[in-house]
Amino acid sequence: MKNTKRVLTLIAIMIMAANVVIAQTKSDFRQPYPIGDKNDAFARYFIGQSYLSVISNDKNLNVPMFNVTFEPSCRNNWHKHAGGQMLIATAGIGYYQEKGKPARRLYPGDVVEILPNVEHWHGAAPNSWFAHIAVECNPGKAGGTTWLAPVEDAEYLKACNDAKNIYAQQNIVLSEKQKAIVNIGNYTAQGNLYMLKQSLVLGLEAGFTVNELKEFLIQAYAYCGFPRSLRAITTFEELIKERKEQGIQDIKGKKATNIKDIREKYIRGAEILENLTGVSKDAPKASYSQFAPAIDVFLKEHLFCDVFERDVLTYKERELFTVSLLVGLGGVEPMAQGHMAMCLHIGITSEQLSALLNISETNLGKQYSEPIREVLRGLVK
């Protein structure tokens, strides 16, 4: 009885999640290899729509390789290969599971080595397209591929949710609004408009107003550039129009109040930065500011004055968003160190930053979260 209730609960959760899945077509899904044609020859072994493209089938090389693309929720049946198989994830988010083991969440760059005759299945996440290269090992070995039972909805959803929610207990230190901030920051930085749109819906449902979410996307320009910021803003504009057509009236919320402080913006920005870092504004400037003085002016006048002075968001919200953007960008560990230090100074806990990285890991993979997690370990040791 308990198991039945749990399965029904999981199905209900996924039905609710499906309501925020934003339509994406195969032409919108970006991947490094051709998507190919509908995988009609093997359709009876899949639930959902898949596509197949031959990458290499030269008998002189004897390493058959195929690009397999899955629409959201698509997965193949349980099956096994007499010669084994290798999978190389190339785009989107997917899952792989061996019989009797937990499912593994897959991100671009992940490699799966499947030993001969190991029962398994693989496919897309419920809310994301997915593509991988399938490499046939020991081709020609007697037995080939043996197709087994379908992965039914309840089994699939449980496997996906168990893999996705491994950090659920640790992440309760963040509110639903704070979790939404992380998702929006990650996907804005990556330019993943498909997942960003879903995250913006969750942000609205968590209680953010339209103007508050717009403010995050405006702030993004300072960290990942105007192109990413403008694409995100356009995506949000489209979402609000769609929701209005569906009869959903989102709360606009307050706008930024007029600034009455008439002092020079550089001075005001320097004071805001001092409040965020706890470091005196009269302290020696960083080497980059000495090497390129103009960047010091832009940071203080445009970022910490023009942006952070706007009172639509709190400093804590802005810094959580900044760190989430930096994780999504990758390769900016020194900046992440500075902003996580600011977070700790203004009252965001190390446990909350760890939860931010847990969510980022779930969204993007360890290749993005782990370098920043190492920085956090250095800050709190």
pLDDT band at 24 (very low <50, low <70, confident <90, very high): confident
Tokens 């020696």 map to which residue?
A: 284
The overall average pLDDT reported for the chain is 93
Inter-residue contact 50 to 41 (CB < 8 Å): no
- Mean pLDDT in residue range 67-80: 98
d(CA 202, CA 216): 14
The predicted pLDDT at position 115 comes to 98
| pLDDT at site 105 | 97
The CA distance from 145 to 93, in Å, is 24
β-strand pairing of 145-147 with 111-114: unpaired
Evaluate whether 169 touches 179 at the Cβ level (below 8 Å).
no
Counting residues of the chain whose pLDDT is more than 70, the rounded percentage is 94
> Is the per-residue pLDDT at 28 higher than 90?
no
Q: Is the pLDDT of residue 92 over 70?
A: yes
269 pLDDT above the threshold of 90? yes
Whole-model pTM: value is: 0.89
Question: How far apart are alpha carbons 213 and 229 in whole angstroms?
Answer: 12
User: Which pLDDT does position 381 carry in this prediction?
Assistant: 85
Tokens (6 digits) for 167: 């950090």
pLDDT of residue 142: 81
Instruction: Residue 323: name the closest of 298, 152, 315, 88 by CA.
Output: 315
Backbone angles phi, psi at 18, to 5 degrees: -65, -25
pLDDT band for position 141 (cuts 50, 70, 90): confident
Share of the chain above pLDDT 90, in %: 90
90: left (phi over 0), alpha (psi -120 to 50) or beta: alpha
Tell me what pLDDT residue 22 has: 54
Task: State the Cα–Cα distance between residues 329 and 349, nearest whole angstrom.
Answer: 22
Residue 248 amino acid letter: I
Give yes or no for residue 25 having a pLDDT over 90. no
Find the largest Cα–Cα distance for the chain.
81
Q: Compute the CA torsion angle 300, 301, 302, 306 (nearest 10 deg).
A: 110
Distance of CA 151 to the CA centre of its chain: 25
Q: CA 115, CA 83: separation in Å to the nearest integer?
A: 8
Which class is 170-256+310-380 in CATH? Answer: mainly alpha
Count of Cβ atoms closer than 10 Å to residue 344 Cβ: 18
**Whether pLDDT at 270 is above 50:** yes
- Do the domains 170-256+310-380 and 2-13+29-164 match in fold? no
Phi and psi at residue 46, in whole multiples of 5°?
Answer: -125, 150
Fold of 2-13+29-164: Jelly Rolls (2.60.120)
User: In 3-state terms, what secondary structure has residue 304?
Assistant: helix
In tens, the pLDDT along 147-184 reads: 999 999 999 999 999 999 999 999 999 999 999 999 99
- Strand pairing report for 65-70 and 50-56: antiparallel
According to the model, what pLDDT value does residue 140 have?
Answer: 84
Model pLDDT, residue 7: 42
Q: Where are the domains of the chain?
A: 2-13+29-164, 170-256+310-380
Q: Which residues pair with 89 in a beta bridge?
A: 132
Helix/strand/coil for 9 = helix
Cα(372)–Cα(365) distance, integer angstroms = 12
Q: Tens digits of per-residue pLDDT, 281-322?
A: 999 999 999 999 999 999 999 999 999 999 999 999 999 999
Confirm if 76 and 45 have CB atoms less than 8 A apart. yes
Instruction: Please compute, for residue 10, the number of CA atoms within 13 A of its CA located in the half-sphere on the CB side.
Output: 20
Q: Which band of pLDDT confidence, cut at 50, 70 and 90, is reported for residue 23? A: low
Structure confidence by residue, pLDDT tens digits, 42-67: 999 999 999 999 999 898 999 999 99
Q: Name 281's Cβ contacts closer than 8 Å, sequence gap at least 6.
A: 270, 271, 273, 274
Helices (H), the chain: 2-18, 153-164, 176-190, 193-206, 210-219, 221-245, 265-277, 287-291, 293-298, 315-329, 333-345, 350-364, 366-380
Where residue 33 falls among pLDDT bands split at 50, 70, 90? Answer: very high
Closest to 356 in 3D by CA, of 345, 369, 341, 367: 369
- Provide the token pair at 292: 């390129």
Residue 277 has which token pair? 């870092």
